[in-house]
Amino acid sequence: MAVVPVARGVVEGLAAVEDLARRLGGTGGAGEADARSSLRGEETVDGTPTYAIEEVPQREDIGYKKVVVWLGHDDLVPRRLELYEDAAEPKKRIAQSDVKSVGAIPVPHHVEVATPAAGSHTVIEIADVQFNQKLDPDLFTQRYLERGGR
């Protein structure tokens, strides 16, 4: 298998999922004001015990009518996500596996993103992860990002 750079659309898609998680209360959001949450039960996903949690957004800007996430019991890493619009079948499915600790942080090294209605399926293999690299904060300014380092 050849290693290719991750397409911009995939990165934007994963960023959108992170944004969605934040808005639903998973990483600093307002919680129940943004979405009603319920524990659907416990299930095993690819050999990992998980909590299945259903989120029903309460705000229009979320973009989905329902999100189901399966969080690993031991590390709380999302192992599977299903994002629903109006249909009974999910609009998008995301599966994360091959979770390895990088320092103290559990990181999925295999991600699959599927949009069933479009017949699209993207596989992302993450080969190298580094945290706390003391990068210059100017690398992340709007101006620098727009001009691409030129």
Residue at 1 is within a domain: no
Whole-model pTM: value is 0.73
Domains in the chain, number:
1
Q: Is 140 helix (H, G, I), strand (E, B) or coil?
A: helix
Segments forming the whole domain that contains residue 54: 8-147
The per-residue pLDDT for range 106-135, each reduced to its tens digit, is 999 999 999 999 999 999 999 999 998 999
The number of C-alpha atoms within 13 Å of 55 and in the hemisphere containing its C-beta is 27
**Cα 148 from Cα 129, distance rounded (Å):** 22
Low-confidence ranges of the chain (pLDDT < 70): 1-32, 149-150
CATH number for 117: 2.50.20.10
The reported pLDDT for the residue numbered 18 is: 54
pLDDT given at position 61: 77
Residue 2 lies in a domain: no
> What's the token pair of residue 138?
């100017």
